């Protein structure tokens, strides 16, 4: 598809090097991990060693300085090979973004640099069992005690936690219960802190190779120096970080939609029924033409949202639109591509069979489609 919104030279170079990694390193080896629903630790190490984990972040902290636009390129290209690998990248990016945007220089030097260098991965501890979509209704408590805060509570679905590379969680907790939504604060909680433990990963139909687990805090003591930014800014930090994360989810959905079309094209090119190529039927190709058109629209929306974020301009509505549109598109693209495969599409030997769950999860994470519609609806009363 032709685009007038060209990539910069640095972005084109990034695209080429991530493509190279995705095609030459990831593609031949990732299938075995997907089949076992296993976190691909050695591949994540290789990806991180190539410097890609730090794509968005400041070179002063060992990142590449390519901001959200760069990270969106990475997520899309990874998803075109394996969406679960893009999930590992984007879920690592959320805690990195919190530390990068709001953390002190000391926190960035100590933790962001390690994450950019890929010495560890991080998890984002926001969602709680009773709260779900209502991120403000957090109950995990952080009580001030001398030079420390003591955390008690739990989180669910924390992706990348519990993996062999997990080094820290950024955890949002209530520090000031009387201050309502201004009573939340964020903490870096390093793995190994007494009282911090994680649950076991269950098998999922989407993000099959990315572990999403519970986090438990049982009188978990962290020094005040591990608070990220200002006390009481937790909700503001979550909302901005989730908005940036949504751009990466949208980019992942775009990559997955492209992958579905790739699979439909390659199957359609070799399948004839009754001596007639199946792509001679417009009934089959017109839905794919619709998907291609929406892929083009999604690409523009993702790029625009990333540009707005990087320009520090208001971007929340555009981001929600991109996330909503691209994740709904991913489901449509996989559904359409699976239909092209006929009965073979539901057999595990055919890669398309595993992608419906991968698409579905993108409509849920970092705020469901309904939550995106709630955010977009605010335009009607603005």
Q: Which residues are catalytic?
A: 366
DSSP state of 58: -
Nearest approach, Cβ of residue 130 and ligand FAD (Å): 9
Give the whole-angstrom CA distance, residue 172 versus residue 336. 39
Nearest approach, Cβ of residue 242 and ligand FAD (Å): 8
**Minimum CB distance to ligand FAD smaller for 97 or for 158:** 158
CB atoms within 10 A of CB 242: 23
CA R_g for the chain: 21
Directed axis angle between helix 355-362 and helix 234-270, to 10°? 150
**Minimum CB distance to ligand FAD smaller for 98 or for 291:** 98
Give the whole-angstrom CA distance, residue 86 versus residue 84. 5
Q: 282 and 290 in contact (C-beta within 8 Å)?
A: no
Q: 358 and 335 in contact (C-beta within 8 Å)?
A: no
Nearest approach, Cβ of residue 157 and ligand FAD (Å): 3
* Token duo for residue 358: 């991968």
**Minimum CB distance to ligand FAD smaller for 125 or for 287:** 125
Nearest approach, Cβ of residue 159 and ligand FAD (Å): 4
Q: Is 305 exposed, middle or buried, given 0-12, 13-18 or 19+ CB atoms closer than 10 A?
A: buried
Give residue number: closest CB to ligand FAD.
132
Binding region for ligand FAD (CB under 6 A): 91, 123-127, 132-133, 157-159, 204, 207, 212, 361, 364-368, 370-371, 374
Q: Which of 253, 245, 248, 250 is nearest to 126 (CA)?
A: 245
**Minimum CB distance to ligand FAD smaller for 42 or for 137:** 137
Nearest approach, Cβ of residue 133 and ligand FAD (Å): 3
């Amino acid at each position: 598809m032709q685009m007038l919104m060209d990539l910069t030279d640095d972005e084109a170079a990034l695209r080429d090097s991530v493509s190279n990694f995705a095609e030459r390193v990831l593609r031949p080896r990732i299938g075995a991990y997907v089949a076992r629903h296993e976190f691909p630790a050695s591949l994540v190490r290789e990806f991180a060693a190539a410097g890609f984990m730090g794509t968005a972040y400041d070179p002063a902290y060992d990142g590449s300085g390519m901001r959200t636009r760069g990270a969106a390129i990475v997520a899309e290209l990874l998803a075109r090979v394996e969406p679960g690998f893009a999930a590992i990248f984007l879920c690592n990016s959320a805690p990195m973004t919190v530390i990068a945007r709001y953390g002190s220089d000391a926190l960035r030097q100590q933790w962001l640099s390690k994450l950019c260098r890929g010495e560890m991965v991080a998890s984002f501890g926001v969602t709680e069992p009773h709260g779900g979509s209502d991120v403000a209704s957090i109950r995990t408590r952080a009580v001030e005690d001398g030079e420390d805060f003591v955390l008690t509570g739990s989180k669910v679905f924390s992706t990348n936690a519990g993996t062999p590379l997990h080094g820290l969680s950024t955890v949002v907790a209530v520090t000031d219960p009387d201050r309502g939504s201004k009573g939340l604060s964020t903490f870096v909680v390093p793995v190994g802190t007494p009282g911090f433990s994680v649950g076991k990963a269950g098998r999922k139909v989407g993000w099959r190779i990315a572990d999403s687990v519970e986090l438990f805090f049982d009188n978990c003591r962290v020094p005040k120096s591990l608070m990220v930014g200002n006390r009481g800014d937790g909700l503001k930090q979550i909302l901005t970080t989730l908005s940036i994360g949504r751009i990466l989810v949208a980019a992942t959905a775009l990559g997955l939609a492209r992958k579905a079309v790739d699979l439909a094209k390659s199957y359609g090119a070799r399948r004839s029924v009754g001596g007639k190529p199946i792509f001679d039927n417009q009934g089959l190709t017109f839905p794919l033409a619709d998907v291609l058109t929406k892929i083009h629209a999604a690409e523009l929306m993702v790029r625009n949202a990333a540009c707005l974020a990087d320009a520090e301009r208001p971007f929340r509505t555009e981001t929600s639109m991109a996330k909503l549109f691209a994740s709904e598109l991913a489901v449509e693209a996989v559904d359409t591509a699976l239909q092209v495969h006929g009965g073979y599409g539901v057999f595990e030997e055919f890669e398309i069979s595993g992608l419906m769950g991968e698409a579905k999860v993108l409509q849920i994470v970092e705020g469901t489609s309904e939550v995106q519609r709630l955010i977009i609806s605010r335009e009607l009363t603005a």
